[in-house]
């Protein structure tokens, strides 16, 4: 199977490419330098040339706060870019996985969101990702929409790495305690996406590690698992104002995943533990390499 990956240099994209290769599938990896998803002609020409069987569309405008002022930029990538990818995929009869987000919900729920609960994005980023979902549904005859949340992995910037860095610089940290979600290891998510793309079980899925916590709980768990001593103080969202509103509760239920015969992603804390071991090894290998240069 030949799978085209957009955003292949991103945090999730790199793990998707690795997961495809591990499963002996051909990964056609594209980043913003090799495929400008906002250029419809270039996208259609590229797809025509390589004729992929499937597309995992990881490329996105993800700067949540910046999107509030750069509305056109977010719209161009998340809406027009997604339209271009989906139209080109349909022209070559390829399946599409569109990666979406918990930000399509307003966060006022009190129980995990179902795949078919009403979407009500709070900010520009959530709105553009929701618009991308709607275009995917209307323009593709073979689509999967996978919403995820609170992602972290070996590549790129994320909450886990930020916490570890801050803990090495300070004795005390403040972390928001009134937002709840499900931390998600990109490696687990990538493995699920590769499993999904090999089926015809089209539709909307929620792909997060199981269980839930606040950012404060997540930070505490990171330090416990990494055996780092630092004092963590709980903050409210109001204590830490940001340009874009955050959903207070964005836990995603995984009914579609279970009823379609897929195994739920592992518990978030277990995945965090695995990740921290991997990260330590990754950093150690990197410093060894640098010392030999």
The verdict on whether 205 is a catalytic residue reads: no
Residue from 125, 127, 205, 216 carrying the catalytic annotation = 125
3-state secondary structure of 231: strand
Token representation of residue 28 = 């056609």
Using DSSP bridges, classify how beta strands 213-214 and 180-181 pair: parallel, antiparallel or unpaired: antiparallel
Q: 56 phi and psi, to 5 degrees?
A: -110, 110
Q: Are 95 and 149 in contact (CB under 8 A)?
A: no
- Return d(Cα 31, Cα 12) in angstroms, integer: 12
Residue whose pair of structure tokens reads 């005390």 in the numeric block: 172
Residue whose pair of structure tokens reads 């292949």 in the numeric block: 8
Q: What share of the chain is helix, strand, coil (3-state, %, to 5)?
A: 45, 20, 35
3-state secondary structure of 34: coil
Q: Are 97 and 55 in contact (CB under 8 A)?
A: yes
3-state secondary structure of 127: helix
- The packing angle between helices 186-197 and 11-22, to 10°, is 50
Q: Catalytic residues, which ones?
A: 125
């Amino acid at each position: 199977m030949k799978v085209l990956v957009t955003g292949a240099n991103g945090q999730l994209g790199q793990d998707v490419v690795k997961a495809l290769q591990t499963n002996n599938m051909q990964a056609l990896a594209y980043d913003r330098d090799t495929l400008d998803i906002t250029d419809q002609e270039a996208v259609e020409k590229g797809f025509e040339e390589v004729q992929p069987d499937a597309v995992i569309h990881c490329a996105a405008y993800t700067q949540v706060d910046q999107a509030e002022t750069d509305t056109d930029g977010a719209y161009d990538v998340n809406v027009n870019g997604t339209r271009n990818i989906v139209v080109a995929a349909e022209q070559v009869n390829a399946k599409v996985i569109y990666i979406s987000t918990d930000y399509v919900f307003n966060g006022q729920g009190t129980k995990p969101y179902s795949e078919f609960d009403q979407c009500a994005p709070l900010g520009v980023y959530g709105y553009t990702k929701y618009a991308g979902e709607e275009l995917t549904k209307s323009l593709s005859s073979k689509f999967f929409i996978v919403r995820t949340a609170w992602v972290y992995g070996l590549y790129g910037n994320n909450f886990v790495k930020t916490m570890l860095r801050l803990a090495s610089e300070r004795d005390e940290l403040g972390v928001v305690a009134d937002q709840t979600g499900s931390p998600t290891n990109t490696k687990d998510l990538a493995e699920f996406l590769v499993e999904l793309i090999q089926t015809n079980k089209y539709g909307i899925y929620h792909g997060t590690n199981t269980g839930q916590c606040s950012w404060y709980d997540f930070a505490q768990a990171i330090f416990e698992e990494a055996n780092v001593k630092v004092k963590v103080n709980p903050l409210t969202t109001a204590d830490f104002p940001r340009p874009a509103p955050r959903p207070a509760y964005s836990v995603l239920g995984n009914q579609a995943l279970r009823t379609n015969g897929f195994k739920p992603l592992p518990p978030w804390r277990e995945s965090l533990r695995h990740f921290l071991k991997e990260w330590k090894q990754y950093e150690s290998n990197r410093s060894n390499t640098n010392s030999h240069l």
